[in-house]
Structure formats: C-alpha cells, structure tokens
C-alpha cells in the first residue's frame, strides 16, 4: 500500500496575513524511529512503507496535496507580551478529516527555518522529539485532551545546542494549532478584519454551536477549565503556560519542560527557565484564568459596544475559578472513589492532599495505593493517614462502585521524569529500546503490568532530574 494523506486544507485557504508559505527543508538521512499507525488510521491516512513515512514525515518528500505553511501568532511569555512569535521550527503540512469527520492538523516540528525563526535554526534534536512523542501519547492514554504524535524521524544531521546532538523531526497532530496568541497578534496590530475572520474560522472549526466573541470565550473557558483540572488530577505540570502555548480547542499543547510529579509538592517547578515559579503545579488554575483574560482582551475589538463587552467578558472570566473548582472536585472525588459528591467531600480531598504534601509521598503511588491498600506505606506519619482513612472508609461504605472508579482514575504508570531522561540518554547512544518500552507501557496506564513494575518506582536520589528544559 502507498502512503496516502487525503489533505483538505482550510487554513491555507485563508488570507496570507495568517501565515507564511514555506516548505520544510529536506534532511540528509531520514530514518523512521516511530510511527503511530493507529492514529494514522483514525485521521484518515492510508499508511505506506517505512521509507515513505521517513521521507514524508521528515519533510524530505512532499506528499500530494500538501500546502505547507508556518502560522503567525504572538503571545505572553512569562507575563510579557512578545508581538511576534509564530512557527519558528514547525510547518503545517495540511489538514485531514478522519472517519468521524473531525478535522486534524498535521504539522512537522523541527523541519527547518521559517520567516518566524528569528535567531533559531528551525531544527529540533532527538531528546525533545522523543519526549513530546512519549508525553503526548501518555496524556492521550490517560484520557486527557492533547495533541498527538504521528511519527518521529531522525534526520542523520547534527543539531548544535550546548553540544552537537542528533537531529529529529516530530509529526504532531492537533485539532488545530490556533492559540490564544493567534488572536492576540491581530488584536495588537489593530487588524480587526483579520481578527473577525479568525473568529469565524475558529467558531466554525471548533465550536459551531457557540455564538460570536462571547460564545467563543465561554467555550474556550469551559474547555480549559476542564483541561487544567485533569492535569492536576494526574500530577501534570505543563511548565510553560504562555498564551502562545494555550490552544483554543482545549488540547494540551507544547511539551517542552513539562513533567509529572513524583513526590507531592504543590509548589513544584521543573522548568529551568521558570525561576519565579510562575507555572508551579498549584499555580496552574490561576494562570489559565490569566490566559483567558488575555483572550478576552484580544476579542474586545470585535464587540460593537466595547464598554459593555468589558463588563460581559469580565463576568465570563470571573466565573472561571468556580468552574475549575467544580472540575477539580469531580476529578479528585473520582480518585478517592466518589462520583456523586456531597458537602464535606472537598474537605476530605484537601485533607488528604495536605497529608500527602506534609509527608512528601509519591503522588501517583499514593492515589493508586488507595485502591490496592498500599497508600499507608507512603506516609511517615501513619497515624495521620489512619485517621483520615477511617473517615474515608466511612464515607465509602454505601458507595458500591468505588473500586472501579478509583481504578479508572488513578493511573499505575505515568511518564516519570527520570525514565524519560534515561530513555533520551539511551536514544542518543542509538538504543531505542527504552523509548519503545515506555511507549508500550504508557499506552495502558491504568492496567497493572507486572513486567513493568520498575516503571512505577520513583527516582532514587541519584536518578532525580532537578530541572527540565524547553524543547528547542
Ligand atoms: P516554545 O518554547 O516551543 O513555545 O517556542 C517559543 C517560540 O520560539 C516559538 O515561536 C518557536 O517557534 C520558537 N522556537 C523554538 N525553538 C526554535 C528553533 N530551534 N528555531 C527557531 N525557532 C524556535
Ligand atoms: Mg510554543
């Protein structure tokens, strides 16, 4: 069978203010590392030979129907507005429609320079490519909205960072790559025509039932409120929640310095560039509200009565913390076995989290341990846990499906940072076995897999990864 991607490109049909046409740059020796055949099928692609996949998903050969472009966007990075970012190392090949008529972007990341590259080389090295492949697919398997990974290809070229490193290209699949920053760039430029077009395109593509700027704002707020609550429940730290990394369709995007918690520390920060802890674990609900305020600001010029718009949008954004709290309660309620919440349940949850923080317990293993009976082993202060557990058991006594609910909401496996780093170190040496093993295990995160018990272990002191880095 030959590779066939049934492209149907709508973004490329928009005005050229939204992007720059640019081809990916062919690479020297494209070699396929991984290909997600299941995802390919889902998004309407007929898979071909390994050689075709390596060439097309490294940008070395253009598949029929490709209309390559780099998207323009701006964004607040760590709270400061950057008026022009854009795809500096990515090229959108085009879109497909899957069997269920959902539309997907197919984008190469690390495919060479674009007009938005500034001083960057437009390339990616193997580490961040494998990291994103693994993390995004792990999030998908956990049931969290996310961009996906279709392929990873090594380029046979060297990329220069602090040292020479092997180059690679990731093929990312997303509901779209429209970000808060895509709206911001046109609002900041005062280009209301483009802003209006973008609004119509976005509503049509993602939220056909929503009406106008306020409808879009409310829809994005709803999607992001749920997303962040889901992140929290699995101990995920995005690490770089800049508005350019905040996607309108509500998927997790941009797996740079992200990480899962090992021991529970609400103020945990991994990103090496996040010196003030702006994107610390427990700040994520506040930051997403801040990001939605930036989206609201960018949509104001589209409203006929701007004063009234400010009042309406402020109300919408101010309603978000409660929305997040509701999703948070539902997500954490399920982790302790509850699907129908009663007054007092939130206190039960927060008291457990406080005990977990005080005892620096392993986040994932403690929650899973509630099901298996091993949670207590995680605590130094066992008396504190016992007192809590007594009240919890009383609460569960008339909840028949608690065990099933806990099994479905407390993963056994997360992509532990030290495992990810070990996997990258091996891959750089040409050993991809740890990557493939992790990929396979993390595809079934809620299943006990006895031969992967080592992957449930937190890092030893020597294995701890103190910092993560942006995916450049
Ligand atoms: P990120 O940290 O991935 O959100 O990227 C922020 C901005 O930097 C985006 O505009 C990227 O396209 C750009 N960028 C990151 N790495 C590179 C690179 N190697 N070459 C060119 N641009 C880059
Ligand atoms: Mg980004």
260's CB contacts (< 8 A; 6+ apart) are: 234, 235, 236, 237, 363, 364, 414, 415, 416, 417
Dist CA 442 CA 134 (whole Å) = 8
What pLDDT digit, counting tens, does each position of 394-410 carry?
A: 999 999 999 999 999 99
| pLDDT mean over 372-398 | 97
Rg (CA), the chain: 22
Q: Is the CB of 122 under 6 A from ligand 1?
A: yes
Least distant ligand from the CA of 179: 2
Q: Is the pLDDT of residue 458 over 80?
A: yes
What pLDDT digit, counting tens, does each position of 61-98 carry?
A: 999 999 999 999 999 999 999 999 999 999 999 999 98
pLDDT of residue 98: 87
Q: Is the CB of 65 under 6 A from ligand 1?
A: no
Higher-confidence position of 362 and 467: 362
Q: Is the CB of 472 under 6 A from ligand 1?
A: yes
b/e per residue 431-444 (b: at least 16 CB within 10 A): ebebbeebbebbee
Protein residue whose Cα sits closest to atom 6 of ligand 1: 85
Domain boundaries, the chain: 11-174, 180-261+275-322, 330-409
Instruction: Please give the structure tokens belonging to residue 387.
Output: 């007192």
What pLDDT digit, counting tens, does each position of 177-201 carry?
A: 999 999 999 999 999 999 999 999 9
Question: CB count, 10 Å around CB of 372?
Answer: 14
Report how far ligand 1's centroid is from the alpha carbon of 233 (Å).
29
Q: Is the CB of 120 under 6 A from ligand 1?
A: yes
Instruction: Please give the structure tokens belonging to residue 130.
Output: 């494998």
Q: Is the pLDDT of residue 44 over 90?
A: yes
Least distant ligand from the CA of 123: 1
Report how far ligand 1's centroid is from the alpha carbon of 182 (Å).
15
pLDDT of residue 268: 94
Instruction: Please give the structure tokens belonging to residue 191.
Output: 């280009």
Determine phi and psi for 254, rounding to 5 degrees: 75, 85
Q: Is the CB of 117 under 6 A from ligand 1?
A: yes
Which atom of ligand 1 lies nearest, measured to the CA of 122? 20
Protein residue whose Cα sits closest to atom 7 of ligand 1: 85
> Which pTM value belongs to this model?
0.97
Dist CA 149 CA 170 (whole Å) = 7
Report how far ligand 2's centroid is from the alpha carbon of 245 (Å).
5
89's CB contacts (< 8 A; 6+ apart) are: 109, 110, 111, 112, 113, 114, 117, 120, 121, 122, 123, 124, 472
Best residue among 72, 82, 117, 160 to mutate for probing ligand 1, ranked by most atoms within 8 Å of CB: 117
Our answer to whether residue 244 is catalytic in this structure is yes
Dist CA 238 CA 416 (whole Å) = 14
Query: Which spans in 71-191 are helix H?
Result: 126-142, 180-189
Grade residue 467 by pLDDT with cuts at 50, 70 and 90.
Answer: confident
Grade residue 472 by pLDDT with cuts at 50, 70 and 90.
Answer: low
Catalytic residue among 244, 254, 262, 362: 244
| pLDDT mean over 317-330 | 98
Least distant ligand from the CA of 116: 1
| pLDDT mean over 145-171 | 97
Beta bridge partners of 151: 35, 171
Per DSSP, 120 falls in state S
Grade residue 29 by pLDDT with cuts at 50, 70 and 90.
Answer: very high
Protein residue whose Cα sits closest to atom 15 of ligand 1: 472
Grade residue 471 by pLDDT with cuts at 50, 70 and 90.
Answer: low
Largest CA distance in the chain: 66
Q: Is the CB of 110 under 6 A from ligand 1?
A: no
Which residue, 319, 344, 322, 320, is CA-closest to 333?
A: 344
Report how far ligand 1's centroid is from the alpha carbon of 472 (Å).
6
Grade residue 222 by pLDDT with cuts at 50, 70 and 90.
Answer: very high
| pLDDT mean over 106-121 | 97
């Amino acid at each position: 069978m030959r590779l066939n991607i049934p492209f149907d490109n709508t973004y490329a049909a928009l005005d050229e203010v939204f992007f720059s046409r640019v081809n990916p740059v062919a690479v020297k020796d494209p070699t396929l590392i991984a290909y997600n055949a299941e995802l390919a099928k889902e998004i309407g692609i007929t898979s071909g030979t390994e050689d075709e996949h390596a060439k097309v998903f490294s940008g070395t050969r253009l598949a029929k129907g490709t209309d390559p472009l780099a998207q323009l966007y701006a964004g607040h990075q760590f709270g400061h507005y950057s008026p022009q970012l854009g795809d500096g190392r990515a090229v959108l090949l085009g879109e497909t429609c899957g069997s269920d008529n959902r539309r997907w972007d197919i984008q190469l990341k690390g495919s060479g320079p674009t007009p938005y590259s500034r001083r960057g080389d437009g390339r990616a090295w193997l580490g961040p490519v494998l990291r994103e492949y693994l993390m995004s697919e792990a999030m998908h398997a956990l049931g969290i909205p996310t961009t996906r990974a279709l392929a990873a290809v090594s380029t046979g070229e060297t990329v220069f960072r602090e040292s020479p490193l092997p180059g690679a290209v990731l093929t990312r699949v997303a509901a779209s790559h429209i970000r808060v920053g895509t709206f911001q760039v046109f609002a900041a430029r005062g280009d209301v025509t483009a802003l209006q077009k973008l609004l119509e395109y976005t509503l049509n593509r993602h939220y056909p039932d929503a009406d106008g700027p306020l409808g879009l704002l409310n829809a994005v707020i709803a999607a992001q409120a749920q997303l962040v609550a889901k992140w929290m429940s699995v101990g995920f730290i995005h690490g770089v929640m800049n508005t350019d990394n905040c996607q309108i369709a509500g998927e997790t995007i941009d797996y740079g310095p992200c990480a899962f918690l090992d021991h529970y520390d609400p103020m945990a920060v991994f990103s090496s560039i996040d010196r003030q802890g702006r994107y610390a674990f427990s700040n994520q609900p506040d930051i997403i509200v801040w990001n939605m305020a930036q989206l609201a600001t960018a949509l104001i010029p589209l409203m006929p009565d701007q004063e009234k718009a400010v009042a309406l949008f402020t109300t919408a954004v101010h309603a978000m913390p409660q929305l997040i709290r509701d999703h948070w309660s539902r997500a954490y309620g399920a982790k302790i076995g509850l699907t129908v919440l009663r007054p007092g349940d939130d206190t039960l949850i927060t008291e457990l989290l406080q005990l977990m923080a005080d005892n620096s317990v392993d986040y994932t293993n403690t929650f899973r341990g509630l099901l298996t009976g091993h949670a207590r082993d995680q605590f130094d202060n066992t008396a504190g846990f016992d007192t809590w557990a007594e009240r919890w058991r009383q609460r569960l006594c008339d909840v028949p499906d608690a065990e099933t609910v806990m099994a479905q909401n407390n993963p056994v496996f997360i992509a532990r940072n030290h495992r990810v780093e070990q996997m990258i170190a091996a891959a750089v040496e040409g050993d991809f076995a740890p990557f493939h093993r992790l990929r396979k295990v993390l595809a079934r995160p809620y299943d006990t897999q006895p031969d992967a018990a080592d992957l449930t272990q937190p890092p030893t002191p020597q294995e701890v990864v103190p910092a993560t880095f942006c995916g450049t």
